[in-house]
Amino acid sequence: MDAYELITRNAEEVVTDEEVEELAEDPEGKRVYVGYEPSGVLHIGHMLTANKLIDLQEAGMEVVILLADVHAYLNGKGTFEEIEATAEKMRKQFLAYGLDDEKTEFVYGSDYQLDDDYALDLHKLELDTTLNRAQRAMAEIQGDETAKVSHVVYPLMQALDIEYLDLDLAVGGLDQRKVHMLMREELPEIGYDARPCLHTPILADLGTGEGKMSSSSGVTISMEDSTEDIEEKVNSAFCPPTRDPEGDLENPVLEIFQYHIFPRFETVVVERPDEYGGNLEYDDYEALADDLESGELHPADAKGALATYLDKLVAPGREKLRELEQ
């Protein structure tokens, strides 16, 4: 697999293809980042972008993880002391999950976002960006929450972070697309270069195959889950034996195989009793998906294998949490 294929593997969108192709010609030492608001234990959504960061490290790029403590504060996630404690747990879990310690730089937003130069550039963005444009880039407001001024400033800071972290590439879930587009539009207006972006998919709800998987509104898998927790959640997951003919529903079991398991394991073995045909071995995602649709692979057997391999991914982070609690 060449550098471009590795960089763009399992990406939902590349903005722009030409810019990323140019990066892929000489990826060594190029800086790429994902920003995470320290709000809890790592879950499968974080791990999806972490898989992409591992790909980028293998391609030779340097990874920057922004532990966005100021963003979390603006989002009402606690005091700086509380947020910092959560961020430190997340840092250790990322390394336990498989990121290379020597190629991963962790940065707190408060390391630079409170400096005078950053504040002045943020004010420049505020002057240049219409309220309507900033609102379009805002995160969705949950429930009955009322939008605050901080919610509008938040995406402007995300855009500015990409300049201040001296990045060559920005990575995020597809839900970050609107922020990245704001960055590409507005950074040149204050004298900085726009950067290319990679967007990873959003996984479907584990129980229904509808909407998106979310730790706040449904069942998800996190690095604090026990082996039994993972087995229970996966066994109850939505996994129809055929594709949805209307195209309205996704299969979250297949999505997790595609975006989490096959990028991290060369071979996936589905264990079955001899009377049911014996074990199946897969070297790629498409073969497993085809067998599930044809009926060769039963959904229950697919779920059993998924729980086993997910547990292998989660186990190091789970152990790290135990060490922190002792």
Q: What is the pLDDT of residue 44?
A: 86
Confidence of residue 270 (pLDDT cuts 50, 70, 90): very high
Confidence of residue 246 (pLDDT cuts 50, 70, 90): low
Helix pair angle (149-164, 177-186), 10° resolution: 70
Q: What is the pLDDT of residue 215?
A: 56
Q: Please name which of 277, 209, 218, 206 lies closest in space to residue 242, comparing C-alpha atoms.
A: 209
Cα 34 from Cα 172, distance rounded (Å): 6
Percent of the chain surpassing pLDDT 90: 73
- Taking the model in full, what pTM does it have? 0.88
* Rounded mean pLDDT, 38-52: 86
Q: What are phi and psi of 193, to 5 degrees?
A: -80, 140
Q: Is 18 helix (H, G, I), strand (E, B) or coil?
A: helix
Q: What is the pLDDT of residue 218?
A: 60
- Is the pLDDT assigned to residue 220 strictly greater than 70? yes
Peptide bond into 242 cis (omega under 30): no
Q: What residues does each domain of the chain span?
A: 3-200, 227-325
Q: Is 204 helix (H, G, I), strand (E, B) or coil?
A: coil
The residue ranking higher by pLDDT, 231 or 321, is 231
- Is the pLDDT assigned to residue 147 strictly greater than 90? no
Where do we find the tokens 């490290």?
57
- Is the pLDDT assigned to residue 284 strictly greater than 80? yes
* Rounded mean pLDDT, 226-255: 85
- Is the pLDDT assigned to residue 16 strictly greater than 80? yes
Q: What is the pLDDT of residue 280?
A: 97
Confidence of residue 247 (pLDDT cuts 50, 70, 90): low
Q: What is the pLDDT of residue 14?
A: 97
Domain covering 3-200 in this structure, CATH number:
3.40.50.620
Cα 301 from Cα 218, distance rounded (Å): 24
Q: What is the pLDDT of residue 210?
A: 80
* Rounded mean pLDDT, 255-273: 95
List the single range of 138-147, 171-180, 267-276 with lowest mean pLDDT.
138-147
- Using alpha carbons, list the distances in angstroms from residue 17 to 85, 96, 192, 270: 38, 32, 20, 36
Strand partners, 280: 270
pLDDT tens for 296-308 read 999 999 999 999 9
Q: What is the pLDDT of residue 1?
A: 80
Whether 227-325 and 3-200 are alike in CATH topology: the answer is no
Q: What is the pLDDT of residue 214?
A: 64
Cα 276 from Cα 272, distance rounded (Å): 6
Structure token pair of residue 182 = 């704001």
- Using alpha carbons, list the distances in angstroms from residue 98 to 94, 137, 315: 7, 31, 11
* Rounded mean pLDDT, 233-242: 89
What's the mean pLDDT when you consider all of the chain?
Answer: 91
Confidence of residue 319 (pLDDT cuts 50, 70, 90): confident
The residue ranking higher by pLDDT, 322 or 318, is 318
Confidence of residue 204 (pLDDT cuts 50, 70, 90): confident
| H or E segment to which residue 71 belongs | helix 69-74
Confidence of residue 45 (pLDDT cuts 50, 70, 90): confident
pLDDT tens for 50-107 read 999 999 999 999 999 999 999 999 988 999 999 999 999 899 889 988 999 988 999 9
* Rounded mean pLDDT, 179-186: 97
Structure token pair of residue 150 = 């901080």
- Is the pLDDT assigned to residue 216 strictly greater than 60? no
- Is the pLDDT assigned to residue 217 strictly greater than 60? no
Which CATH architecture is the domain 227-325 placed in? Orthogonal Bundle (1.10)
Pairing of strands 268-270, 280-282: antiparallel
Q: Which amino acid is at 124?
A: K
